[in-house]
Structure 1
Amino acid sequence: MHIIKLPAIDSTNSYLKELITKQTVENFTVVVAENQTNGRGQRGANWEVESGKNLTFSVLIKDVLLNFEEVFNLNVVVAVSLFQAFTNLKIPNLSIKWANDILADKKKICGILIENQFKSNSEILSVIGIGINVNQENFSNLPQASSLKKISGQEWHKEEVLLNFLNQFQNNINLYKNEGATYFWEVYQENLFKKNVPMAFENSSSDKFMGIIKQVLPNGLLQIELEDESLQLFDIKEIKMLY
């Protein structure tokens, strides 16, 4: 594992993707930025953090995914690895919010953005961007966000949090390569936020409706049981949870 530490960068994902175009980069290369000025999340949202208080980093993964059908498996492995790493740190009341946010006490403490590159030789390179709210306490404009410090009541060494995850993730990648995705999907589904609980949703047309999350399919689509007991599938850009 090779770790590159930077004082400030616009986006660790962008930095790592550019590095790949210039030179051969070894598997499990990690880029960590003390301050990230243009971090991105799901739906194209910015990931805003207070400088020096949180973890923003990206990891290069290659020689893991064999075909397009396996792409969402990596989301699941990353989410489960973060869930397990936070469990190791004794962060309480954890859950995984579809597609791959990590919540504690129903508030977001970690987000993931995975960008895949499909090479002409069938190789799949994945750049995994992760933002963890570690010691930030002010979330005045983000009512659904929190941090390890706010949840646990203690200050954290960011290096400890980072290495805890990286070790867990590396072990899990090896397990995935040797035994497949079944175990990770079981953990993911078992800890899925609001699974089997009636809740409100909003679709891309801003229409609100009630439904029950039943499962996430291997292609990453969310299966929801509607009020008429029919089952409908949604992509990440088609629906928003209201909670």
Structure 2
Amino acid sequence: MSKHLRNQLLRLLLEQQSPYISGEEISKQLGCSRAAIWKHVQELRNQGYEIEARSRNGYRLISKPDRIAPEEINFYLQTEVLGKEIRYYPAITSTQESAHQWALAGAKEGSLVIADQQTTGRGRLGTSWVSPAGTGIWMSLILRPNALLKFASHFTLLAAVSVFEAIQSLSSYPIHIKWPNDLLINKKKVCGILTELKGEQDRVDYMVIGIGLNVKQNDQLPSHATSLEEAAGKQYIRAQVIAQILQRIELCYMEYVKEGFAPIRKRWEAGAQSFFGREVQAKTWNGVIKGIAEGLNDDGALIIRSEGEKRIIYSADIQMT
């Protein structure tokens, strides 16, 4: 109850329209005493919120830390399903592992695991993902689509389009998609997406979409990576970015359910124009294929023209040459 009251108080401070909200009004809306309000104000200050208290006027929020706790995300969230249940961890081994455990235990569609830090974050093909505290968005979303296993790759591309469009809506800085799910700025990776699932017979039981997005500048990024703030030269509120990503995923998901893969494919290809027509090198389990990236097929696989023939790539590490 104490945490709930604190979150409700924070919501009132975030949403206040006038310069101050009186202690009497807070007490009335939250159904608690003035002493309890003061206690929660102190706790919020300890978390980094700068709150002014003025006699006869009340309280006002002057500044807030860049937190990604549920109450911060909820302030920006406008979805109907996604992100309505959130498990937040200051630090965790992997949000992906936690999401799988939660899904197996019956988590609802749209449930989200998010952490301020991952100690063993991972990417596609067994790679590690650097996830230092306070610098990025490390989250895993649980979906339960009514879909055949053979269409699972569609959701990887759907997630890439969603993050691409979310970032576009928050900044005019040019960002590009590289197959299947990397987002690049100035040819450097800013976001990676990992889609994993559990299926029964030929259908998807649940799907976990892991998203790692570098937001803040930090000296732990490898040379081939960048962050939103480093590239755009502006600051971002991570909770707002998370809410925007969830909203875009929900819109794309609803569109996919109604219209299928075709509109998602079209938007993915529009975001990957700088990728197509380029010479690429695809490292697959069966060897290396070199050629020109031409587009996607109906399954979302990459089409590469190599030595005059079309090659269909379903899984590979792609490098642009």
Name the structure where helix makes up a greater proportion of residues.
Answer: 2
Query: Which residue is equivalent to 2:230?
Result: 150
SS at match of 2:165: helix
Note the alpha carbon deviations across 1:132-182, whole angstroms, 9 max, x for none.
000033256x22211110111012111011111111111221121122221
Superposed, which structure 2 residues align to 1:174-213 within 5 Å?
174-192=254-272, 194-201=274-281, 203=283, 210-213=290-293
TM-fit CA distance, 1:208: 7.2
Counterpart contact for 1:67–1:124, Cα < 8 Å: no
Larger Rg: 2
What TM-score do the two structures reach when normalised by structure 1? Answer: 0.89
Counterpart contact for 2:157–2:300, Cα < 8 Å: no
Query: Which residue is equivalent to 1:33?
Result: 115
Superposed, which structure 2 residues align to 1:221-236 within 5 Å?
221-226=301-306, 228-236=307-315
Note the alpha carbon deviations across 1:29-69, whole angstroms, 9 max, x for none.
0111011111110111000122111110000001x242122
In 1, Cα distance between equivalents of 2:160 and 2:296: 13
Query: Which residue is equivalent to 1:98?
Result: 179
Note the alpha carbon deviations across 1:202-234, whole angstroms, 9 max, x for none.
6459987752101122334321112x3222223
What TM-score do the two structures reach when normalised by structure 2? Answer: 0.68
In 2, Cα distance between equivalents of 1:202 and 1:172: 28
Matched to 1:101, the amino acid is D
Matched to 2:168, the amino acid is T
Aligned length in residues: 238
Query: Which residue is equivalent to 2:155?
Result: 74
Query: Which residue is equivalent to 1:20?
Result: 103
Note if 1:127 corresponds to 2:208.
yes
In 2, Cα distance between equivalents of 1:28 and 1:205: 33
Counterpart contact for 2:161–2:267, Cα < 8 Å: yes
Query: Which residue is equivalent to 2:7?
Result: none
RMSD (CA atoms): 2.3
Query: Which residue is equivalent to 1:58?
Result: 140
- In structure 2, stretches of 5+ residues that fail to align are 1-83
Percent identity of equivalent pairs: 25
SS at match of 1:9: coil
Counterpart contact for 2:142–2:208, Cα < 8 Å: yes
Query: Which residue is equivalent to 2:295?
Result: 215
In 2, Cα distance between equivalents of 1:59 and 1:205: 28
SS at match of 1:93: coil
The structure, 1 or 2, with the larger RCO (C-alpha pairs under 8 Å, 6+ apart) is 1
